[in-house]
Amino acid sequence: METKMNIQEYMTAGVENIIRNALKVTLTNPAQSIFMTRFAAASKAASKKRQISEKEVEHIPAFLIASITSSCNLHCAGCYARALHSCEDTEPIKQLSAEEWDHIFEQAENLGISFILLAGGEPMIRRDVIEKAGNRPKILFPIFTNGTLIDDTYMKMLKKCRNLLPIFSIEGKEKQTDTRRGEGVYEKVFSAMEVMQKEKLLFGSSVTVTKENLEEVTSDDFIRKLEQRDCKALFFVEFVPMSPESQELAPGDEERTYMNKRLSEIREAYPNMIFLSFPGDEKSSGGCIAAGRGFFHINSHGGAEPCPFSPYSDVNVRDTSLQEALHSGLFMKLQNSGILMEDHAGGCVLFENRDKVESF
């Protein structure tokens, strides 16, 4: 399946690097450090499962993205989920139940998947699903949230279930965040961060990177403010244009070169934080890692998709196993067609080639 490189070795090395850094940044937090030590052992066992599968010509990715709801309490400007009509104001009736999600989590654990990124909509709306995730300590669940729904009950859950890691979405400083997400959101997010800091709970942040905010969100001033709140992880997510008008906002080669340079600098300057870039330098990973190469996406109704930015599916995990979904006709065609390896202007190669993807 892989001719240019060993994707399993590449992803395993990436996982080990994340865990190694996570252990380092939690050294001053005994409870979190104990959990990360145990998780490191579980992740190593999961990696062995994936390696055994690889020898049997069965590639299992280390990551899974799960959009556990298509409902959201905010209306963020430029939201890709609303643009793709995969996000709504109300809770649709045919979404996967908490029990169905728990079965997916169980299958993922048995396959050796170590990380499941919980997304939406706004995932904190599905408290029932997050409770199920908390009962799977061998999997780390970063929860990409707008941060406005975290209450005392959630705080108790987060203290008990250390494998739940809130990732608060912000756009930069207060003006930029409130302009995109709504007035007062920035203050609510930082209030939640302050409570997390007081309770000594691990959390991170996520920033959508555009040509306009690149320098600001990689600046020392911005990162230092997060560091002062004890934020331990910062995800830089490249903006994916949903229309021709927004194409100019997507980072290009020049911006990625700048980002890679700044990542090297800030990783050295802020050793107590983890910095991750998505999709990052796809050339180093032999192309896009979606469609089961490094991860894949399950939408709120159970459809197995290449990634959240490419909402196409030919199988549903309600009707098949997680393992069988990895062999979907769509995934296999994408992996064998060469599309994942193509150069692109910015954002997402699958979104740029959506006409080809749809034709599969």
| CATH number of the domain where residue 321 is located | 3.20.20.70
Query: Which neighbouring-strand residues pair with 119?
Result: 67
Whether 2 is covered by a domain: the verdict is no
Q: At a CB cut-off of 8 Å and minimum separation 6, what does 142 contact?
A: 115, 117, 118, 165, 166, 167, 204, 233
Amino acid letter, residue 44: K
Whether 58 is covered by a domain: the verdict is yes
Whether 115 is covered by a domain: the verdict is yes
Whether 91 is covered by a domain: the verdict is yes
User: For residue 247, what are the domain limits?
Assistant: 7-359
Whether 1 is covered by a domain: the verdict is no
Whether 112 is covered by a domain: the verdict is yes
Strand ranges for the chain from DSSP E: 63-67, 115-119, 141-145, 164-170, 204-209, 233-238, 274-278, 297-298, 304-305
Q: At a CB cut-off of 8 Å and minimum separation 6, what does 340 contact?
A: 287, 288, 289, 290, 291, 293, 334, 349, 350
Whether 210 is covered by a domain: the verdict is yes
pTM: 0.90
Give the separation between CA 171 and CA 178, rounded to whole angstroms: 8
Per-residue pLDDT of the chain (360 residues; tens, 9 = 90+): 444 456 677 677 778 888 888 888 888 888 899 999 999 999 999 999 999 999 998 999 999 999 999 888 766 665 655 555 566 656 666 899 999 999 999 999 999 999 999 998 899 999 999 999 999 999 999 999 999 899 999 999 999 999 999 999 988 887 878 787 778 888 999 999 999 999 999 999 999 898 888 999 999 999 999 999 999 999 998 887 766 667 778 888 888 889 989 999 999 999 889 988 877 655 555 678 888 988 999 999 999 999 988 889 999 999 999 999 999 999 999 988 888 877 655 557 787 777 788 777
User: What is the number of domains present in the chain?
Assistant: 1
